[in-house]
């Protein structure tokens, strides 16, 4: 692991968005996070395409290849960054399904004792607030360390990203930078030397 000292060491973050669509605002938010992260935070983005629906019978035969890759990259990372949309006032199945796979096996799961940052975007006014809240509840059971504050709720997302999916809203860019500084410090609380 690339560790130097205190808060200046490199921290490996695994990021994923709970959306499969190409033009996803949440995927776009993670690309912006990669761009705006402090130098000490290395963000690798994992695409959930190809992760099947959780099935304990399939799991009993051994994790499917894409699931193994997903779980392994989580294990290797020192922290997670999850951009979740909100569907029907809750966590979309795509986000939750990924969490369900990564929550296994209980007690020895990749999510166990993993620091996590949650953020999200929506074209609506609440910026995925309820989806994010529900996701926090899941991390109580997985024994993951979810950063309490700051929160990022990117509302009216269609006005904040351009057609290429670049985050153009200056206030959001600035706040995202601060959020990532806080995530850097949060992960360091658990993994720093």
Ligand X SMILES: Cc1cc2nc3c(=O)[nH]c(=O)nc-3n(C[C@H](O)[C@H](O)[C@H](O)COP(=O)(O)O)c2cc1C
Q: Tokens in use for 154?
A: 């990117």
- Pick the stretch among 22-30, 35-43, 45-53, 135-143 that binds ligand X (CB under 6 A): 22-30
Q: Are the C-beta atoms of 2 and 9 separated by less than 8 Å?
A: yes
In 51-74, which positions are buried (b, 16+ CB within 10 angstroms) versus exposed (e)?
A: beebeeeeeeeebbebbeebbebb
* Window 61 to 90, contacts with ligand X (CB under 6 A): 85-89
Residues present in the chain in total = 193
Find the part of the chain contacting ligand X (CB under 6 A) among 17-25, 31-39, 111-119, 170-178: 17-25
Name the residue nearer to ligand X (CB basis): 95 or 188: 95
Residue with tokens 């986000």: 95
Q: Is 127 helix (H, G, I), strand (E, B) or coil?
A: coil
Nearer to ligand X, 84 or 188 (CB): 84
Residue 106-145 contact track with ligand X, rule CB under 6 A, x = bound: ----------------xxx-x-------------------
Site residues for ligand X per CB under 6 A: 19, 21, 24-26, 85-89, 122-124, 126
């Amino acid at each position: 692991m690339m560790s130097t000292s205190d808060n200046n060491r490199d921290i490996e973050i695994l990021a994923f968005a709970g959306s499969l669509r190409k033009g996803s605002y949440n995927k776009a938010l993670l690309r912006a996070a990669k761009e705006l992260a402090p130098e000490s935070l290395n963000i690798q983005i994992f695409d959930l395409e190809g992760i099947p629906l959780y099935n304990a019978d399939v799991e009993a035969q051994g994790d499917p290849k894409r699931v193994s890759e997903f779980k392994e990259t989580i294990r290797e990372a020192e922290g997670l960054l999850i951009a979740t949309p909100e569907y029907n006032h809750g966590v979309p199945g795509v986000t939750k399904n990924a969490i369900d796979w990564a929550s296994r096996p209980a007690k020895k799961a990749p999510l166990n004792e993993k620091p996590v940052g949650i953020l999200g975007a929506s074209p609506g006014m609440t910026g995925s607030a309820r989806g994010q809240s529900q996701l926090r509840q899941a991390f109580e059971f997985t024994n993951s360390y979810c950063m309490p504050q700051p929160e990022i709720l990117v509302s009216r997302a269609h006005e904040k990203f351009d057609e290429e999916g670049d985050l153009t809203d200056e206030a959001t860019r600035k706040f995202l930078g601060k959020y990532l500084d806080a995530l850097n410090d949060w992960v360091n609380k658990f993994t720093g030397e």
